[in-house]
Chain A
Amino acid sequence: MTSYWPSLIGGMLIGLSAAMLLLLNGRVAGISGILGRLAQGAQVETNAAFAIGLISGPLLYRVGAGQWPPVTITASLPVIALAGLLVGFGTRMGSGCTSGHGVVGLARLSPRSVAAVVTFLLAGVATVTLMRLVAP
């Protein structure tokens, strides 16, 4: 049986990161927002610092754990490219992703974030279910 402790503790670290950014810098740890602002050239120093920290996270994990965290890509390159386009477009249109709406928005009990999370979860479940039906 899989142990869910690493998932719970990893989630709490994500929460600590978001709480820290909010209490110290007054900013929401929403990755799509941070990336979007970076792409637009807004608050470049802090947004770039967060992105660099985020990218170095798995590296630091490797130093501590002695191995890379698993990343298994099964989708074909055209599907990956289409998915990236949809994720980028959708998170800008919907003003957030799993971190901004999912972590910070839900913790703030924001009705907009609750609606967003329910919507992207349902859309994700529907997409995976359909794909498994077509190609199990």
Chain B
Amino acid sequence: MNRHAQILTALASGAIFGIGLSLSGMLDPVRVRGFLHVAGDWDPSLAFVLGGAVAVVMSGIFVRRRLQNPAFGDAFHLPATMPIDTRLITGSAIFGIGWGLAGLCPGPALAALSLGLAPVALFVVAMLVGMTIHDRLIAGRTNTPALRRAP
């Protein structure tokens, strides 16, 4: 029962995320790179997207503080407070370089698969390869359970 509710919630949440990305214009790498091009004809759209999203999630966090458990789950799976370390900064910098190169990040790339464009499919495959390389080579070596390192 709860399992089915969880699956339906995840499906609906994913669909709303994808509709929001489509409406926001952030599926388009040109718009994303326009935001990153601060030295040129800057496109501030991404700031509106991020601002709108953060504002809504903040109200969700406010409600969450009054709940013991999520409606369909056993517990809130939120990452524990950890110090800012080299992995976080190095990883984020590597991600930022890739993001700037193509104007694609994981959410928009996955959503844009539905348009059937070959370069987007190539990006998603390369991204999955990159994730696997990290998890096989790096995460295994440092013995950090990659599964538990959500943001």
A residues neighboring B (CB under 8 Å):
2, 4, 6-33, 35-37, 39-40, 42, 45-47, 49-61, 64-65, 68-75, 77, 79-108, 110-113, 115-117, 119-129, 131-132
Contact = CB atoms under 8 A, between A and B. Distances in A.
A84 B6 CA distance: 30
Interface size class on chain B is 35 or more
Contact of B24 (A10, A89, A108, A115): A10
A84 B101 CA distance: 9
A77 B119 CA distance: 6
Contacts of B149: 95
A53 B15 contact: yes
B9 A20 contact: yes
Contacts of B60: 15, 18-20, 22-23, 107
A72 B43 CA distance: 15
B61 A84 contact: no
A92 to B, nearest CB: 4
B100 A16 contact: no
B146 to A, nearest CB: 7
Contact of B84 (A49, A71, A102, A115): A115
A20 B12 contact: yes
B82 A112 contact: yes
Interface string B24-62: 111111100100111110011110111111111111110
